[in-house]
């Protein structure tokens, strides 16, 4: 794994949840880690733990990906490192509510994280990988990208973009020796979520299938949900079923129309 994707992996959103688990599993594989997130103290704590446990090197890169100059900050901080694996994990939190209750600024922030950030990071780091003729990219999306989700409209649409981009690049970047996979998890335990799958099998699903599959949905329940919605129902039924489900999750003040 190190020979294929090493010596360094860069993981965004690595201070907690799925990103932190990616860092742990990659460290266990022997990769050095560039850790990117906003919270410097959490990153440094994780870096210390991984260095002592797995005898690897780390580089802490505190960065707010919501800033327009995020790429310059990250690329400058790791300019001397050979990044062989990019884990594009950081993203905007999901939002359940009516489309018209959201401001354009809030929607654009979601699109910035899910589209702008991931696209720019892929384009930047894939360039060097292509020159070396080896590398890997893990694109973290969501099961919502496989479905139309009323009351999560711009979020699920942005995750659909991630899925289509990653699956397309899975084919295209093979010409340069770069493996690409899209990970589309359902609900996963994190700081904000206390239900769903544990992060360990979610991350393992991506790393075990990198270089084999264009995309993976971890967990048989999630796989069945996506398959059933896409293949056993018409598009009209998919929208209706998911809309009824999401409507039931609405909370005030987003459950009524003024």
**Catalytic annotation present for 171:** no
List Cβ neighbours of 21 (8 Å cut-off, separation of 6 or more). 199, 200, 202, 203
DSSP category for residue 207: H
**Catalytic annotation present for 159:** yes
- Residue 158 pLDDT: 93
- 4, 45, 54, 159: which is the annotated catalytic residue? 159
- 54, 155, 174, 228: which is the annotated catalytic residue? 155
List Cβ neighbours of 235 (8 Å cut-off, separation of 6 or more). 148
Residue 42 near residue 14 (C-beta atoms within 8 A): no
pLDDT in tens, the chain (258 residues): 899 998 999 999 999 899 999 999 999 999 999 999 999 999 999 999 999 999 999 999 999 998 889 999 999 999 999 999 999 998 777 777 889 988 999 999 999 988 999 999 999 999 999 999 999 999 999 988 887 788 889 999 999 999 989 999 999 999 999 999 999 987 655 666 666 678 899 999 999 999 999 999 986 566 656 655 555 555 566 566 766 776 777 766 665 555
Which of 26, 18, 9, 30 lies closest to 82, judged by CA? 9
pTM: 0.86
Which of 15, 57, 59, 4 lies closest to 37, judged by CA? 15
Q: How far, in Å, CA of 105 to CA of 181, rounded?
A: 30
Residue 173 near residue 188 (C-beta atoms within 8 A): no
Q: How far, in Å, CA of 32 to CA of 84, rounded?
A: 10
């Amino acid at each position: 794994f190190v020979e294929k994707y090493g010596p360094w992996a860069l993981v965004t959103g690595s201070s907690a949840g799925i990103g932190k688990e990616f860092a742990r599993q990659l460290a266990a594989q022997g990769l050095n880690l560039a850790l990117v997130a906003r919270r410097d103290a959490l990153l440094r704590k994780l870096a210390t733990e991984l260095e002592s446990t797995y005898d690897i090197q780390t580089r802490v890169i505190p960065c707010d990906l919501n800033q327009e100059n995020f790429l310059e900050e990250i690329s400058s901080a790791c300019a001397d490192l050979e990044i062989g694996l990019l884990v594009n994990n950081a993203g905007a939190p999901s939002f359940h509510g009516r489309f018209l209750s959201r401001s354009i600024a809030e929607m654009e922030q979601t699109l910035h994280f899910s589209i702008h950030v991931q696209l720019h990071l892929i384009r930047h780091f894939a360039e060097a990988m292509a020159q070396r003729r080896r590398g890997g990219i893990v694109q973290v999306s969501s099961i919502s990208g496989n479905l139309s989700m009323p009351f999560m409209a711009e979020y699920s649409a942005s995750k659909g973009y991630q899925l289509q981009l990653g699956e397309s690049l899975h084919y295209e970047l093979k010409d340069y020796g770069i493996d690409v996979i899209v990970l589309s998890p359902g609900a996963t335990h994190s700081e904000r979520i206390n239900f769903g799958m544990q992060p360990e099998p979610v991350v393992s699903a991506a790393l075990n299938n990198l270089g084999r599959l264009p995309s993976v949905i971890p967990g048989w329940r999630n796989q069945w949900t996506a398959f059933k919605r896409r293949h056993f129902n018409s598009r009209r039924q998919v929208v209706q079923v998911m809309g009824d489900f999401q409507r039931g999750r609405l909370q005030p003040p987003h459950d009524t129309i003024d």
